[in-house]
A and B are shown apart, each in its own frame.
Chain A
Amino acid sequence: QKEVEQNSGPLSVPEGAIASLNCTYSDRGSQSFFWYRQYSGKSPELIMSIYSNGDKEDGRFTAQLNKASQYVSLLIRDSQPSDSATYLCAVTGPIKAAGNKLTFGGGTRVLVKP
């Protein structure tokens, strides 16, 4: 079983619609959860971080975390063509003082069509 799983897509979304991305993880002790966006040929850039159960909103993005069900999701409202990218879910294990092992999912490719 993969540690962090995402649907590879592509997820095709009309411009202006809501894109919904899901991620499941296997380590029940995971503490921190991140969504990164990666454009083709570029490095990942952070969109959202979430640490507690519930929703966290930042502009057009909402992250949702459910630790009991071991999933984290990302909603993109009013999708724009510039949102077309691969979205990476990343999860850390239990807290440890020495650094922060981040495990990435394979990413979901999102295509926003005008």
Chain B
Amino acid sequence: ETGVTQTPRHLVMGMTNKKSLKCEQHLGHNAMYWYKQSAKKPLELMFVYNFKEQTENNSVPSRFSPECPNSSHLFLHLHTLQPEDSALYLCASSQGARETQYFGPGTRLLVL
């Protein structure tokens, strides 16, 4: 599926680093999402953006900061992360309510 792309695909960072994850969707969708997938845990919704406006923040720590400059791009800025933040971070997009969400390939993050 090349409709949703994510970069980088792999990231190793120290706890004092600042990095950003990027997501781009080429499907003309209006909503974009960030999910976290840790080992042996269900997919956890982090943030929802609809028409560039944040509509959901699922009690995510402030060390994760999302940015949505337009309906096609979504960023997740990372700073002062903890080792327990190591996970697969997935971006998804959908046309709107009730519509199917399509996932990007994910960024595998390791925090040392």
Contact = CB atoms under 8 A, between A and B. Distances in A.
Interface of A: 4, 31-32, 34, 36, 42-46, 49, 51, 88, 90, 92, 95-107
Name the residue in A43, A99, A102 with the highest tally of chain B Cβ atoms < 10 Å from its Cβ. Answer: A99
B98 A51 contact: yes
Interface in B22-76: 31, 33, 41-43, 45, 48-50, 53, 55-56
A45 to B, nearest CB: 7
Given A43-B106, A45-B1, A95 B42 contact: no
B49 A99 contact: yes
Interface of B: 1, 31, 33, 41-43, 45, 48-50, 53, 55-56, 88, 90, 94, 96-106
Contact of A104 (B42, B97, B98, B99): B42
8 contacts: A34-B100, A43-B103, A44-B90, A96-B97, A98-B48, A100-B31, A100-B97, A100-B99
Given A34-B100, A43-B103, A43-B106, A98 B45 contact: no
B97 A105 contact: no
